[in-house]
Structure 1
């Protein structure tokens, strides 16, 4: 038999429920209030400090202030100060160039350069097809000594060197160039569009070893990679060497897709967020490469290039040859673009492999060491596929796995 609740009891229950609800609401509200107040106070401190500095500078600064440069430096300083070593700010120009690099289509003179340690000049390490540089006869291994009258010895950043050789279509860059026989030339090159493939070399070496140089992981890498691998296997490659040296691995998804093509089914990599939650980034299908594989790495191999090498070793039995890698094992945010065209990235999680291990901060240790001597390091950009001592070690390792060496 059911019992009726008296009006007094019902009213008491209702009052208790209201009191509990009110208490919970007050607790949550107080937490939100405290967080908001703390945030407001921190922002007020930031603004007050910047305002003090700004008043001081503008009251007596002799030189004129470029407001755009100032704002960019403030933004870059903020990113440098948050304790995230991978966080980065790009000016509008830098971000536009980064997007072009990711798409593999740039506008400029058509070369890739690095700072040459022995001469101090900008050494040409790549000349892209159908570019102003290729049409002008610029060759790999030669030097650019000045860009628009600025000596390249004064430009210590490879990124800034590259930036100075890019520009809007139809504009001109004037360079001083040393020919292969070290004759100096003055060239005026009109910027045009050209493609920058992420795979610069794919060929057989030692008769049956397929060698693939992956310069970067970018938007077009997945299709380029599959084509290169398939072509070499069709040509009779009995093993494969993937050269990942100096590949900074900017595009995480490209590295995952390329690894998927090589390894058997399973979890390739995961992301762990700041609360410890783990998300699988990609599951590999059952398709895999059934020939021995070797990954050649160095201290500048980073990000998705490390992920690729690690996945091939743990899931596909690949051998890693070279020197310890950079140790960048994090997931970065998508680009946050701002109203002036600039953008920023922050770290959102830690990369984990299929065994929940991370290489962030430690790097990957090669199975076979291939450290270069000082003389070999100085000759790094002079080597060819047939003379490079690190490539030779990688090819020998791959061939030995086939029983041919």
Structure 2
């Protein structure tokens, strides 16, 4: 009798378990179905709206539609509308240029320019060795006022001027050039391949090793290590790392460079959208034992902020300058598309070795060294010896080394 009861109970439990499992499966399935239906409805609404606009335009538009421009603009608009201020879409040509810049090998005339705030012209801030620009005597602090007949002050920004100066190997660009002493000259320059180093360095002050890191690209890690080693051999007793205007796009290279400066330990972490935290890099025992100063400003961002923060938290570095940009996020690898275009989106939040984020707030300097209005207007005229922010950073490094 008891055996029959046991079998009955077991059968009842099995039926209840089956019912619970079935109910749970139905709930999960319904949730998945509702989510899918909602997603399909949202996409249908998007496509319907675009279709309505497209029908209206094609039925009435007077001007000819450039289909490539339209598609690129739609893609760029999508990235602007996803609530990710760092998401970017690159056309095929823009992505190709970005890859060339990332590799440090460009094809053009061999200058780095910025759009001058007062004149709007392309101000030359770097002339690269073994390039058409250097061979023709173009100089830092000169201006490019026109490219192929188009005034540079009519171009949208620095990126537009830079893009106009690039081109396929062997093609020619005509420029109008204003020398630093304001003599106008014209050149027809043939595009060639040239290298764009991201690191420059020298001994300054009283045995202070000054290293300027313009950007973090695939070549920066090796360049940085060579610079540090060279300055150590020259007797550097302290270091200043100039990270001003460094947008820090290559996060991995920034981690590698920081690794060379700080003692063993966790450098940084990444938090994904589900709250999962993973380690990005552990540093080895190699480190810089001399006092370190990081010079930063409001355009120091991304990997450059990570570098400065790691050196401060792990290596005791002092930050000099102004509050940084506050771009503490991890970007995706490039997602390339069939037409050669590409996009990047944010995939995580950057955290330091203590699990703290500086996203949207930036890093505050230990020593404020803001430029006055007059100094800001003369920013690109300064040299290492006359730049007031560099002078403040160097004097801080020397004091930390017991030389001030």
Q: TM-score range by the shorter chain?
A: over 0.9
Equivalent position of 2:95 in the other structure:
95
How far does residue 180 in structure 1 lie from its aligned partner after superposition? 3.2
| CA shift for structure 1 position 383 | 0.7
1:229 corresponds in structure 2 to 228
| Secondary structure, counterpart of 2:308 in structure 1 | helix
Distance 1:349 1:266 in 2: 21
Q: Tell me, yes or no, if the aligned pair for 2:206 and 2:403 is still in contact at 8 Å.
A: no
Aligned to 1:295: 294
Task: For residue 7 of structure 1, report the CA deviation from its aligned partner.
Answer: 6.5
Deviations 1:274-331 (A, max 9, x none): 2221111111112210000000011110000011011111111111111111110000
Report the counterpart of residue 389 of structure 2 in structure 1: 390
Matches within 5 A, 1:204-223: 204-223=203-222
Structure 1 residue 10: Cα displacement: 5.6
Determine helix, strand or coil for the equivalent of 1:262: coil
CA RMSD of aligned residues (A): 1.5
Aligned to 1:82: 82
Q: TM-score, normalised by structure 2?
A: 0.97
Whether 1:191 aligns to 2:191 is yes
- The residue aligned with 1:364 is 363
User: Which of 10-19 and 383-392 deviates more?
Assistant: 10-19
Counterpart CA distance in 2 for 1:283 and 1:101 is: 28
C-alpha distance in structure 1 between counterparts of 2:343 and 2:38, whole Å: 25
Give the TM-score of the pair, scaled to structure 1: 0.97
Distance 2:10 2:264 in 1: 61
Q: What is the aligned partner in structure 2 of residue 307 from structure 1? A: 306
1:144-159 equivalences under 5 Å are 144-159=144-159
Moved over 4 A (4+): 2-14
Q: How many residue pairs get matched?
A: 403
**1:125-152 deviation line (CA, Å, top 9, x unaligned):** 0111111111111111100000111101
Identify unmatched segments of 5+ residues in structure 2: none
Counterparts of 1:298 and 1:14 in 2: how far apart (Å)? Answer: 67
Secondary structure at 2:267's aligned position in 1?
Answer: strand
Give the conservation status (yes or no) of the 8 Å contact 2:206–2:398. Answer: no
Shift of the alpha carbon at 1:181?
3.0
Shift of 1:16: 3.5
Q: Distance in 2 between matches of 1:292 and 1:278?
A: 31
The aligned residue for residue 345 of structure 1 is 344
Show the 5 A alignment for 1:6-405: 11-199=11-199, 201-405=200-404
Deviations 1:363-382 (A, max 9, x none): 11111111111111111111
